[in-house]
Amino acid sequence: MDTSLFHSLEGKNVYFKALSINDAEAIHSYASDKDVKRFIGWNLMKTLNETQEYTQTMIDREVAGTHLYASVVSRTTGEVIGTVMLFNFDKEANQAEIGYVFHKNHWGKGYGTESVALVSDFAFEALNLHKLHATVVDANIGSARILEKNGYVLEGRLKDHFFIEGKYYDSLLLGKMGNK
């Protein structure tokens, strides 16, 4: 897998770079936020040390070839504002799962939509994947909209699949096929 190409993707408002322990403080600013963590699969990071350890785990997964991660950087400020990922690769079916998380100060500004477009194009063009999918908590309307804006379609719903803060939520499965 060409991690260097993934880490060098560029859009109009954001660009990607390799995850780095040096960025753990920026990552911690959103990984430790309850509002951000609420509907993503990460544990809430309580300390900077926890975030540093998790960042190292992500880097190790990438080195092992099981995941691709990139920090999303704002072109305007130069700050790390989020993380994007490709994971759960199925080599036989030639597909993978896409994920992303952003600091809440950057929600609703198009960064997620642009980042998902960059990851999707990379997955279909550079990795020649047949399909991408994402799992979203149904209450995470913003995340589902990001995917829909990028041509992902609702393929399924699992009723009461997630139990978060004492409440059940449905799981939405959205998918997108490559152009080939």
Residue 26 pLDDT more than 80?
A: yes
Higher pLDDT, 164 or 150: 150
CA 42 to chain CA centroid, nearest Å:
11
What is the span of the domain harbouring residue 150? 3-177
Instruction: Quote the number of domains for the chain.
Output: 1
CATH number for the domain spanning 53: value is 3.40.630.30
Q: Give percent of the chain above pLDDT 90.
A: 88
Q: Which residue matches tokens 């139990």?
A: 163
pTM to 2 decimal places: 0.94
Residue-level pLDDT at 88: 95
Q: Which residue matches tokens 């759960």?
A: 88
148-165 core/surface letters (b: 16 or more CB in 10 A; e: else): eebebeeeeeeeeebeee
Phi, psi of 86 (to 5 degrees): -120, 135
pLDDT in tens, 112-139: 999 999 999 999 999 999 999 999 999 9
